[in-house]
Structure 1
Amino acid sequence: MNPITLNTLAAFPLQLEQHYAAIPNACTHWKPASWEGVPSEPFSAIEQICHVRDIEIDGYHLRFRRTLDEHNPLLPSIDSDLLAGERNYASADPIEVFRSFRAARAKTVALISSLAPEQFDRQAEFEGYGSLTLRSLVHYLCSHDQQHLAGLQWLLGKIEAESATEPATA
């Protein structure tokens, strides 16, 4: 696996925590009036981190395992909005979310690091993406991470824009 991709995956939990920490405490559940231009799913900051955790565990862990164990499996997409409602993301404890995400990502990095070069050529069909290899799946995970860092930065921009347009109080 490309070292930059593996290193980026390993560094992501800390980056996610730092980006989340930049969101003012009073705004972790805040949602803008419009999600136009959001580079990730339209989730509040707390919902973003829950989504990343759940996609790691319920999405990518399963996808990697099936791609390694089955012949050209169909990897279903996950309905993120449904999952957010079912798991009540808005009431999540960010400390617990980050704890479980760090453990899940460590498991992901350990798996990827342990694979033989030919295992990265294993093929699957990913709903919404089409045919891919395990190597492509790793890159899609890395891309998904970056989308959520961008989503948190986008939320910060919206928070700042809204606070700049609020009238000053006397």
Structure 2
Amino acid sequence: MNRTTLDALTAFPDQLEAHYAAIPDGFTHWAPPSWEGVPSEALTALEQVCHVRDIEIEGYHVRFHRTLNEDHPTLVSIDTDALVRERAYDTADAAAALAAFRAARARTVALIAGLAPGQFDRTAVFEGYGPLTLRSLVHYLCSHDQQHLAGLQWLLGKIDASRAAVRH
């Protein structure tokens, strides 16, 4: 796997934690009046953290395992909205979610770093993405990370805009 992608995956837990910490007090559950233009799923800051944790564990860990151990499996997408409701993301403990994510990501990075070059060529079909290799899946995970950093930055912009509107 290329070093740039592996380094980005390794750095992401710190980046996620820092971006979440940048959310002002009282705004971790805040939602804008419109989600138009959001670069990630339409999730509050706390929901973003919970989503990233659950997708890492129940999405990507399962997808990597199946791609490595099954012949050309079909990998399912996860219904984010259902998880938000079922797991009551709005009542989650952010510190616990971030810690669980950090541990899960460490397992992900260890798995990827330990793979033989040929294992990255194993194939699957990912619902909504189509045919891919394990290497593709690693890139999609990295892309997913970046979408959620962008989503948190987008929320920060919306929060600031909402505060400015109140002042004027």
TM-score w.r.t. the length of structure 2 is 0.99
Aligned residue pairs: how many? Answer: 168
Aligned to 2:100: 100
Deviations 1:118-168 (A, max 9, x none): 000000000000000000000000000000000000000000001001146
Counterpart Cα distance in 2 of 1:25 and 1:3: 36
d(CA) in 2 for partners of 1:71, 1:106:
26
CA distance in 1, matches of 2:86, 2:101: 18
In structure 1, the residue matched to 2:119 is: 119
RMSD of aligned residue pairs (Cα, Å): 0.6
**1:155 matched to 2:158:** no
> What corresponds to 2:12 in structure 1?
12
**Residue 136 of structure 1 aligns to a residue in which SS?**
helix
Structure 1 consecutive aligned stretches of length 4 or more whose deviation exceeds 3 Å: none
Q: Unaligned regions of 5+ residues in structure 2, if any?
A: none
- Classify the secondary structure of the residue corresponding to 2:31: coil
- Give the aligned residue type for 2:86: E
Q: Which runs of 5+ in 1 are unaligned?
A: none
For residue 63 of structure 1, what is the aligned residue in structure 2? 63
The percentage of counterpart residues that share the same residue type is: 68
Query: Residue 43 in 1 paired to residue 43 in 2?
Result: yes
> Which residue does the alignment assign to 2:52?
52
Distance 2:40 2:91 in 1: 20
Residue aligning to 1:146: 146
Shift of 1:25: 1.8
Q: Return the letter of the residue paired with 1:122.
A: R
Q: Distance in 2 between matches of 1:2 and 1:54?
A: 25
2-structure distance, mates of 1:25, 1:116: 45
Task: Output the amino acid matched with 1:101.
Answer: F
Which amino acid is the alignment partner of residue 117 of structure 2? P
Matches of 1:165 and 1:99 in 2, distance apart? 35
